[in-house]
Amino acid sequence: MGTARTYVNYMDDGKLLAAIEKLYRTYERAFAAKKLKDINKNIIDPFKFQFDTAFLHGNNPEDTLRNEIFRQNDKSIANAIGLFHQQLIGAIDGFTETPSLPCDVKKNDDTIFAEIKNKYNTMNVRSAAGVYDELAGLAKSYPNAMCYLVEIIAKKSADTVWSITINQTVQQNKRIHKISADQFYALATGQQDALKQLVDALPDAIRDFLKHTDLEGSLKNAGTRAQAYGELYDQAGKYGIGVIEQIYRMAFPDYIKFK
């Protein structure tokens, strides 16, 4: 793995490119060519499909189907983005990912432990309480450590004591903080603009990854929508009906007059 530092000065290029590749592979799996039956596994809503086609996609059902494919894969991609951030923070000098601990990353000298969440509204009350309990356990086990809930997309830039209500009791510990990504990157690297450096470097890093692996534009031209739409078009043609009507037939195979 390359140790050059042409993108940011607090992380090896190889580690940044490895994180990008791992995320790319998730996109690749999500949008690999699939059969129409796989896309319709949970039954495409034919009413929504028709209105989306008319109102959003200029009466082009192929664009509507493409949008449906993206919608179905949105959760897996969002999860992968969260893992991408975890991998990046674990690649900062002096930090590492911690699969054996109840948190995502830590500083190698055990003075910082962090749980990474992609957005401030990712957790419900129960899951937030669970994360707080895990960090409280780490704070107890490592009395010289600070523990953080890192929100990549926070409501605002902040580093504050995390106050949470658990079983109708307010819990807070001066060594357990909720912190935004910019503040955590600054803390971890000693550079106030560390996150901005990363954001500015990503376009070059992504371009270099795609060129190096000869993948530039390959997902944009992936076969998923072409194969699925081809099947949909062929099925509609077989019955002498339009594509949208075939979507209704797939959703309502035994409804009156839809056979």
pLDDT in tens, 171-227: 999 999 999 999 999 999 999 999 999 999 999 999 999 988 766 555 655 544 557
Q: Is 240 found in the same domain as 206?
A: yes
**Domain boundary residue among 191, 224, 239?**
191
Q: Is 6 found in the same domain as 72?
A: yes
Instruction: Give the residue from 209, 208, 152 showing the smallest Cα distance to 185.
Output: 152
**Torsion-angle region of 149 (φ positive above 0: left; ψ -120 to 50: alpha; else: beta):** beta
Per-residue pLDDT at 222: 54
Is 120 contained in some domain? yes
Q: Is 179 found in the same domain as 97?
A: yes
Per-residue pLDDT at 178: 98
Per-residue pLDDT at 181: 96
13's CB contacts (< 8 A; 6+ apart) are 2, 3, 4, 5, 6, 7, 205
Which two tokens mark 125?
């009350």
Sign of CA dihedral 103, 105, 110, 113: negative
Is 152 contained in some domain? yes
18's CB contacts (< 8 A; 6+ apart) are 1, 87
Is 153 contained in some domain? yes
Per-residue pLDDT at 215: 62
Per-residue pLDDT at 172: 95
Output phi, psi for 124, to 5 deg.
Answer: -90, 180
| Domain total of the chain | 2
Beta bridge partners of 245: none
Q: Is 117 found in the same domain as 178?
A: yes
Per-residue pLDDT at 141: 98
Per-residue pLDDT at 123: 94
Is 159 contained in some domain? yes
32 in Cβ contact with 224 (< 8 Å): yes
Alpha helices in the chain (DSSP H): 13-30, 36-39, 46-55, 61-90, 125-141, 181-189, 194-212, 224-239, 243-251
CATH code for position 123? 3.40.1560
Per-residue pLDDT at 44: 94
87's CB contacts (< 8 A; 6+ apart) are 15, 18, 19, 22, 97
Per-residue pLDDT at 31: 78
Q: Is 71 found in the same domain as 106?
A: no
Work out the mean pLDDT of the chain and round it to a whole number: 91
Low pLDDT (below 50) residues in the chain:
223-224
Per-residue pLDDT at 226: 59
**Domain boundary residue among 191, 224, 245?**
191
Q: Is 187 found in the same domain as 133?
A: yes
Per-residue pLDDT at 3: 79
Q: Is 257 found in the same domain as 222?
A: yes
Q: Is 182 found in the same domain as 118?
A: yes
**Domain boundary residue among 191, 213, 237?**
191
- Residue span of the structural domain in which 104 resides: 92-191
Q: Is 212 found in the same domain as 200?
A: yes
Q: Is 62 found in the same domain as 8?
A: yes
232 in Cβ contact with 47 (< 8 Å): no
Is 87 contained in some domain? no
